[in-house]
Structure 1
Amino acid sequence: MITVDTIDHRIIRIPITDVIFAGYEKIVENEGMPILDRYPEKGNLKIRFDIEFPNYLPKNSKELIKKGFHMAKIGGGVTQHEIINKLVLADKILRVDPEERLPPI
């Protein structure tokens, strides 16, 4: 899911379930610029992704990626993105200091 601030000061959340690659475009219907002679109708919003890969990955990040691909493979491919998203989220949660996980008293 990505969050986009629109020109009319709204925040929209756009689900992304496809594999993202450099140059990938997501088109969101009726969220683009207003069409002048058909106001209040809007055009489509195009979101183009520019991916930059890191020059270096720590060993634990490489292991996480391998595990994600393995889990997606054994998951049958039906909900690969959900499996990988859960894996990444679990990794992020484990990286948070345990004292910061609890709400303040």
Structure 2
Amino acid sequence: MATSFGAGAALADPFPVTTDVVAAQRDGLTGPADAAPAGANRPDCHDRYDRDPVILVHGTTSNQSSAWSFLAPTLANAGFCVYTFTFGQVPGSGSVGGLAPRAESTQQ
């Protein structure tokens, strides 16, 4: 799949983009909550066009991997620096986030 967002930095080996929503949800919610989607949270990322980094925040009953397995690598492949995280986990929620009260989640 070729996606263009303007003049991004070309990658020799593009990050894999998940287009199957069901598989993304299943894999993301059964894996560890701190597993970032492909292309995200790269400490060596430097946008050669000096654009602001993209920070993706998941919604309720989700996590960084299940929510952003399409958008994070798509943006990274276009040369953006992408950052994600999982917030709002409660005891017993496994890898599902977005469940804790807002006051608690903002501390994360």
Q: TM-score, normalised by structure 1?
A: 0.25
Q: TM-score, normalised by structure 2?
A: 0.25
Q: Which has the higher strand share?
A: 1
Give the structure with higher Rg (CA).
1
Q: Which has the higher helix share?
A: 1
